[in-house]
Amino acid sequence: MPQTAKPETAEPQVSASAPAKYKGKVLLIVLLVAVLVVAIAAIVFVALVMVNKKGTGGNASRESPIPPPVVVSAPVVPHVSAIDLNKPPVFVQLEPFTVNLRAGEEGDNHYLQTDISLRVNDQKTAEALKGWMPEIRNRVNLILSSKSIFDIQEDFSHERIQNEILRGLNTLFGVPPPPPEVPQGQAPLGPIQGVLFVSFIVQ
């Protein structure tokens, strides 16, 4: 008997486009989720900005739980001057002095001519010094006549003589002499604040 051929069973054919469709769906879902996340983040951000504006604007700032920052400025230190420029100084002009200087080793005779002004606190002190003028002139004469030509010619001799006269006159008014460790440039407290040589001529 002739053998009858068995009908061939048709194998199911898998379309090659199936994986591509599956991948496309997954990608679409991922994109939708990403868009949703971004949209939610944008909504939250806008909501926070609006709340912040309401908390800081207008009268609502008084009800804000966050106090405004406190700005602390540095204290202003006023400039302190050693001399009050608003109060002009008062000077007492002494009559000119002409004294013989102490003779040096060579026996040369020299004399000194100088004009001296005294700086005082106020006009009241200046008027009071007039009653002491003989004592003042005597003290200045003793100091000037004790100098020699070599003392006058030394460096910074004028400053040393000024300080010596200043201390001598203030001690005349009851101010105790300063201790030896006090620098020469620091005058004792007293009615006379400064001694100025208006002219200083040695012959």
pLDDT for 87-137, tens place per residue?
788 999 999 999 999 887 666 788 999 999 999 988 999 999 999 999 999
Contacts of 92 (CB under 8 A, 6+ apart): 117, 118, 120, 126, 129, 130
Contacts of 125 (CB under 8 A, 6+ apart): 90, 191
- Answer whether residue 67 shows pLDDT above 50: yes
Report yes or no: 136 and 172 within 8 Å, Cβ to Cβ.
Answer: yes
Among the listed ranges 1-15, 21-35, 38-52, 169-183, which one has the minimum average pLDDT value?
A: 1-15
Report yes or no: 143 and 99 within 8 Å, Cβ to Cβ.
Answer: no
Distance, in Å, from the CA atom of 95 to the CA atom of 117, rounded to the nearest integer, reads 9
Are residue 109 and residue 166 in the same domain, yes or no? yes
Specify the pTM.
Answer: 0.54
Q: Which helix (H) or strand (E) holds 30?
A: helix 17-56
Backbone angles phi, psi at 136, to 5 degrees: -65, -45
Report the number of distinct structural domains present in the chain.
2
- Region of 107 on the Ramachandran plot (φ > 0 left; ψ -120 to 50 alpha; else beta): left
- Answer whether residue 71 shows pLDDT above 60: no
Are residue 151 and residue 194 in the same domain, yes or no? yes
**So what's the pLDDT on residue 196?**
94
Confidence of residue 203 (pLDDT cuts 50, 70, 90): confident
Question: Using one digit for the tens of pLDDT, what is the confidence trace for 166-184?
Answer: 999 998 888 877 665 555 5
Residue 80 domain flag: no
Percentage with pLDDT > 70 across the chain: 64
Residue 172 domain flag: yes
- Answer whether residue 18 shows pLDDT above 80: no
Q: Scanning the structure block, which residue is given the tokens 């990403």?
A: 34
Are residue 142 and residue 183 in the same domain, yes or no? yes
Are residue 44 and residue 109 in the same domain, yes or no? no
Are residue 35 and residue 113 in the same domain, yes or no? no
Range of the domain at 170: 90-202
Are residue 181 and residue 101 in the same domain, yes or no? yes
Distance, in Å, from the CA atom of 13 to the CA atom of 185, rounded to the nearest integer, reads 119
Are residue 189 and residue 94 in the same domain, yes or no? yes
Among the listed ranges 20-24, 127-131, 197-201, which one has the minimum average pLDDT value?
A: 20-24
Are residue 105 and residue 185 in the same domain, yes or no? yes
Q: Which helix (H) or strand (E) holds 64?
A: none
